[in-house]
Structure formats: structure tokens, C-alpha cells
Amino acid sequence: MIPFSRLPSCSAILCVSLLAGCSSSWLFPQEPQTLEPEGGYGPIVVDRRGLVANVIALRGERTPGGLIILAEGEPPSQGYWDVELVQVTGEDIPANEIRYEFRVRPPVSDQPAGTRESRDLEAAAFLTNPELEGVRLITVLGQSGSRSIRR
């Protein structure tokens, strides 16, 4: 039996156990490890909607806080859905222009063409006064052309 006086002190045991439990990054900082690709991850969501066949009308409605862009599009048949004006960005767009794509999702099953009025789709977007500063042209793109309004 070991006499009580020969047992290591509690503080020494605590110190050794603390150091043993510490990770090497605490004692020796290392570069963090990551699985992220060097250039970062690409976009999480990819918009797979196509452009509406034809943009048939475009107008802007002034509001106290900005401008509502209202676009009317014509797809080739009935049943198109999930309509949205999606702003396009890029270096090729002049600073005084804002561009949108008129995006739609096709019908799930074959649909009759129907009359033009029964196929018409409407989409809108809001631009605030600060976003409109310096903008002279607003364009909405469709598959077979575009419409623009000048300010």
C-alpha cells in the first residue's frame, strides 16, 4: 500500500489531465481544414425555367417609393406557370440600363394552344428610387425579342 504522503497532489493530476485532453490546435494553431473547393461553391439553386416565347407589352407604373415594372408575355400554349421577372447582371450591361428575363416554367402535360388571351401571362417587379438612380432604360427579354421603356 502506498502511503498517502507519496500520492501525487490533486493539482498535479488535474494539470496533467487537462494538458492531455487539449487538442493540438490549442497548443499549436494550424491552418483550418475545409472541404470547400478552391474557388468556392457554385450557385446552390439553378433556375431552369425558360424564357417566355414573346414579350408583348411592357409598362412602368410610378409609385411614391419607386417604379413597378409590368410585363405581359405570350407562351406558345396554355399551362405555363411559375412566372417571374429575373434581373440579369453582368459586365456587358451598361450602368444606365436594368435588364430582366421573363422566365416561365412549361406545362407538365401537353396543353392546347387556345386563344392568345387565354395564354397571356403577367409578371411584375419593383424598383426602388435608389435603384433607379441613373437608370435610363429598362428592358425585358423574351425568347424571340424584347421590350424596353425609357425614363
Summarised one tens digit per residue, pLDDT across range 104-144 is: 999 888 877 777 777 799 999 999 999 999 999 999 999 99
Measured CA angle at 60 (ends 56, 61), to 5 deg: 130
pLDDT tens, position by position, 13-63 = 555 555 555 555 566 667 777 888 888 887 777 888 999 999 999 999 999
pLDDT of 85 > 60? The answer is yes
Please, are residues 83 and 103 in contact by the beta-carbon 8 Å criterion? yes
The tens digit of pLDDT for each residue in 133-151 reads 999 999 999 999 899 999 7
DSSP letters, 58-126, are: EEEEEETTEEEEEEEEE-SSTT-EEEEEEEE--TTS-TTEEEEEEEEE--SS------HHHH-EEEEEE
Residue with cell 405570350: 74
* Mean local confidence (pLDDT), 74-102: 92
Average pLDDT, the chain: 84
